[in-house]
Structure 1
Amino acid sequence: MKRISVICGFLMSMWLSAQKIEVLNFATFHMGETPDTAKVKFDPKSEKSQKEVLEIAKLLAEFKPTVICVEVLPAENEKIQNDYQNFLKNKDFKTVYEGEVSLLAYQIAKIANVKKIYGIDEQETGQYNYRLGEQLKNQVDNVTYKRFITTFIEGFGKQENLSVKEKLIDYNKESTLQGLIEANADILTHVSTANNFEGADEAAKYYRRNLRMYSNLNQIPLSENDKVLIISGATHAAFFSEFLKRSPKYKTVDVFDYLK
């Protein structure tokens, strides 16, 4: 009886594994206007920049995605689909969505003949205060946050002279992704006044936003034959990486199988 149970469990795990949808979770910096505190030096109108991004698009298109998800609100899915179709029809069309959406997602979709682009962003959880650690007075620990953020910013400053590809390679490293979760959320748990949770409550807003973005992904109609490419800001990609590891539905594909 025990042997039968073990065999059944093994077969069930094999079946579940076989049904999983492949996901390529790609971390990028914002290639246009962004309200983010940390901005990467990048000129989207530069011919050199556009050429570099196109080379990345060609590499990622080799994944052959059937669906692409971007950092746009789901309420705009029809609008982004129309924008993409106009982009396909007219090479001189000025897209509504700029930055990494038009420069990267549209180009990949065009090369790979992707039919659907979905927005999975979420913005209803309230304004997130990245700078609370610099503003809150009478903190119990007024050292840890400042020390970490100073070191973190110095590290990102070293990327300034890298090529677009080199920056994106660095963004997609596991060490960078983990550092971004710490810098954008977890470090705030060190920010509080006595017997309070100001920083933790602020960090929870960002966790909530990313969980909701992941929920938006889960609401997209997909079949087991689909291959999903997610293109999002690196911190969102860092959270998705954690969620996808535990998913019964998805199987992550190594970015570096394509970003060579």
Structure 2
Amino acid sequence: MKKISLLLVFLVVFSSSFAQTKKKQILLIGSFHFANPGLDVAKVNTFNVMTDKSKKELVSITDKIVEFGPNKIFVEWNYKKQDKLDKFYAKNTDSLLNNKADEIVQLALRSAKKLGHKKLFAIDYNQTSFPYDSLLKGMKEANQLDLLKSNEIEMVNYEKSQNEKISKYTLTKLLLDLNSKESIKIDREWYLGIANRVGAVDNFVGAYLVSEWYRRNLYMYSLIQKLTEAKDDKIMVLLGASHAAIIREFVKNDPNFEIVELAAILK
């Protein structure tokens, strides 16, 4: 009897410990802006997600998201305007899906409605700066002409590559490509490989831009952490690909979460 009691105590302690250390799963999706408002530094063509073919893909993709079963879905919407997101979410679903070419609508809202969620969660933090013009000026003033040239070449190559993919790829393939290791690597490398080096010895314009970008994403990740409750085993986060590339670094160093790849749920 004593041995059985000790075994039961061990099992209770072990199961309790396992429950405490089990990581929550994050389906982290980096996306291009479906409506392409032209606000990003890199200018790429618009991919039409409202064609019959793309709509069928959206149904299939979101069906797979439903199979994954996130308890909450987080989106790139100003966190201070959650009330407006709630009102937006409450609008006529068919009207939104048929007329709004936006990744928040076509991926996040479509998935959330299928799952029966009452709302989407806003996590964007906008109170940071991204002084790209100052970055270019800093290169010129510091006579960093090689760095300036490298930046121009990288931007041209990126835009050319993305536009070629947009002309050839399906929506599903585009999203998988954006969330591939190669694309994530390219997204992250620009910040430390080019931007952070900009400026004279006593001018940190490059490091400032990078720190502001990391701060914006770190604050967004803080909101994900705060809004994820103990009962939430799985969540989905839909952000611009450049945001997702940075947030991946935070998730990998957070013992409470683990990333689920988009490729894994679409297989």
- TM-score, length of structure 2 as denominator length: 0.81
Residue 239 of structure 2: SS of its match in structure 1? strand
Give the Cα separation in 2 of the matches to 1:213 and 1:40.
27
1:133 Cα offset (Å): 4.5
Of residues 147, 166, 169 in structure 2, which corresponds to 1:160? Answer: 166
- 1:158 is matched by which residue type in structure 2? E
* CA-CA distance at 1:241 after TM superposition: 0.9
Equivalent in the alignment of 1:195: 202
Question: 2:229 and 2:45 mapped to 1: Cα distance?
Answer: 33
* Displacement of 1:231: 0.5
Question: Which of 87, 94, 99 in structure 2 is aligned with 1:82?
Answer: 87
Q: Distance in 2 between matches of 1:16 and 1:187?
A: 41
Query: Which deviates further from its counterpart, 227-236 or 169-178?
Result: 169-178
Which residue of structure 1 aligns with residue 107 of structure 2?
Answer: 104
Q: Report the CA distance shift for 1:75/1:194 in structure 2 as closer, same or farther (over 3 A).
A: closer
Q: Which residue of 2 aligns with 1:36?
A: 40
Q: Does 1:259 align with 2:262?
A: no
What residue ranges of structure 2 are gaps of 5+ in the alignment?
Answer: 1-9
SS in 1 for 2:235: strand
Name the CA shift for 1:72/1:257 in 2 (closer, same or farther; >3 Å). Answer: same
Query: Secondary structure in 1 aligned to 2:25?
Result: strand
The alpha-carbon deviation at position 183 of structure 1 amounts to 2.5
Which residue in the other structure is 2:144 paired with? 141
Cα distance, 1:81–1:116 mapped onto 2, change above 3 Å: same
Alignment of 1:1-260 (within 5 A): 14-18=18-22, 20-34=23-37, 35-38=39-42, 39-88=44-93, 91-92=94-95, 99-126=102-129, 128-136=130-138, 137-147=140-150, 149-151=152-154, 152-153=157-158, 154-161=160-167, 162-184=169-191, 186-260=193-267
Q: Deviations over 1:191-211 (max 9, x none)?
A: 212432221112111111111
State the one-letter code of the partner of 1:79.
K
The residue type equivalent to 2:120 in the other structure is I
Q: 1:247 to 1:97 in 2, by over 3 A?
A: farther
- Contact (CA 8 Å) 1:66, 1:116: kept in 2 or not? no
**CA positional deviation for 1:155:** 3.4
Q: CA RMSD in A?
A: 2.8
Whole-angstrom CA distance in 2 between matches of 1:14 and 1:52:
38
AA aligned opposite 2:142:
Q
Distance 1:187 1:227, change over 3 A: same
Q: Contact 1:170/1:176 (CA < 8 Å) preserved in 2? A: yes
Change (3 A) 1:63 1:143: same
Whether the 8 Å CA contact 1:192–1:198 is kept in 2: the answer is: yes
Q: Percent identity?
A: 27
Cα distance change on mapping 1:95 and 1:124 into 2, 3 Å: farther
Q: Distance in 2 between matches of 1:30 and 1:132?
A: 25
Q: Distance in 2 between matches of 1:51 and 1:61?
A: 15
Report how many residues are paired: 248
> 1:119 offset after TM fit, Å?
0.6
Unaligned runs of 5+ in 1: 1-6
Equivalent residue letter for 1:129: P
Compare CA radii of gyration and give the structure with the larger one: 2
TM-score, structure 1 normalization:
0.83
Higher helix residue share: 2
CA distance in 2, matches of 1:184, 1:96: 36
